[in-house]
Structure 1
Amino acid sequence: MSDQREVAVVRWPGRTPSAGAGPAELLAAYHLTTQAEKGEAVAGVEDLPDRYRVEIADPRTAFADDVVLLALSGDSAVGCLVVTAPADGRSEVKRLWTDPEFRGSGIASSLVGAVRLSVWKWRAGAIALYERLGFTVTESWDERDDLVCMERAL
């Protein structure tokens, strides 16, 4: 018996009412994990910085100008990707998250396209994934310390 789960990638919000709350739960897990990795762990979503709580509370408005892709297993969102609206002719990956239970099944590969991204330098697994997908480290466009900027040639 195979443990493979069928996963579909869809643009959110879409025309169908599937995906429940959309990316909200995935974004909450992403931001809570990131805060802990920064050494600034918080007890719950209500303790996150305002800019992150807004994304979780109302992702439709927070990402109104961006592209949000969801990986769905049935009606459950198991992965998400947020790509910013183009600036200077390029888009940027702002959020890429896969439910830990679904990691290793190609979901991130299915979500990622030819875009640039930034990733915290301590996320070695994510950096290795991006390198396998053809991304290379490039000159930073972000002034924050500890970010690695990467892009993939078209």
Structure 2
Amino acid sequence: MTDRPEASLVRRPGRTLSAEDGLTPLLASYHLRTEAEKGEAVAEVDALPDRYRAEIADPATAFADDMVLLALSGSAAVGCVVVTAPDAGRSEIKRLWTDPVFRGRGVATTLLDAALEQAAESGAHTVRLSVWRWRTGAIALYGRLGFTVTESWDEREQLVCMERAV
């Protein structure tokens, strides 16, 4: 018997998101943690850059054309990832986040497997992502799932860009 609760997965077209989905607190945690890791710690969502506050305040608009995958433990959202609609045969994975309490339980791998499946079903032939250089655990996970480092498409320093075929 395990004390680890199972997580189920749900897909939500971005435009259908609502406050009840539980995405907002996950996005807030993701962005607050990222800013802290960049050395720009802020205590509250209101102090985040405008583009991040907009995602948190209205994910249905921010991700209107995308698919949002949520990992649930019971009715509580414990992880998320966003898969963009294909553009020229390429989708992007963004905002992968697992509640720290649920890390080490395969939630991120489950989300990524589903994201790759979603991209393939949407007609993408390639999936790409960017990850901060210091997130070595995430980079290792992406590598295990077949992603390889590629030339950067993003001008921000410290980002590692990766891609793989689906």
What TM-score do you get using the length of structure 2 for normalisation? 0.85
> 1:33 aligns to what?
33
Per the alignment, residue 106 of structure 1 pairs with: 106
The CA distance in 1 between the partners of 2:8 and 2:54, in whole Å, is: 26
In structure 1, C-alpha distance between the alignment counterparts of 2:37 and 2:86, rounded to whole Å: 29
SS at match of 1:34: helix
The one-letter amino acid of 2:130's match is S
In the alignment, what sits opposite 1:120?
Answer: 132
Equivalent residue number for residue 120 of structure 2: none
> What is the aligned partner in structure 2 of residue 138 from structure 1?
150
Q: Deviations over 1:32-67 (max 9, x none)?
A: 000001111111001001110111111111111111
Q: What's the % identity of the aligned pairs?
A: 72
What residue is the counterpart of 1:93 in the other structure? 93
Compute the TM-score of the two structures, normalised by the length of structure 1.
0.91
- What are the superposed Cα offsets for residues 70-113 of structure 1, whole Å, 9 maximum, x if unpaired? 00111100000011222221011121000001011111111114
CA contact (8 A) 2:36 2:42 kept: yes
Give the superposition deviation at 1:20.
Answer: 2.7
Deviation of 1:18 after TM superposition, in Å, equals 9.7
Structure 2 distance, partners of 1:84, 1:9, is 17
Instruction: Quote the Cα distance in structure 1 between the aligned partners of 2:25 and 2:12.
Output: 14
Give the SS at the match of 1:12. strand
User: Structure 1 unaligned runs (5+)?
Assistant: none
Matched with 1:72 is 72
Tell me the SS of whatever aligns to 1:91: strand
Using the alignment, how far apart are the partners of 2:74 and 2:13 within structure 1?
Answer: 16
Q: CA contact under 8 A between 2:151 and 2:161: conserved in structure 1? A: yes
Q: CA deviation at 1:4?
A: 2.2
**Count of residue correspondences:** 153
Give the structure 2 partner of residue 8 of structure 1. Answer: 8
RMSD value, Cα: 2.1
User: How many Å apart are 1:144 and its aligned residue?
Assistant: 1.7
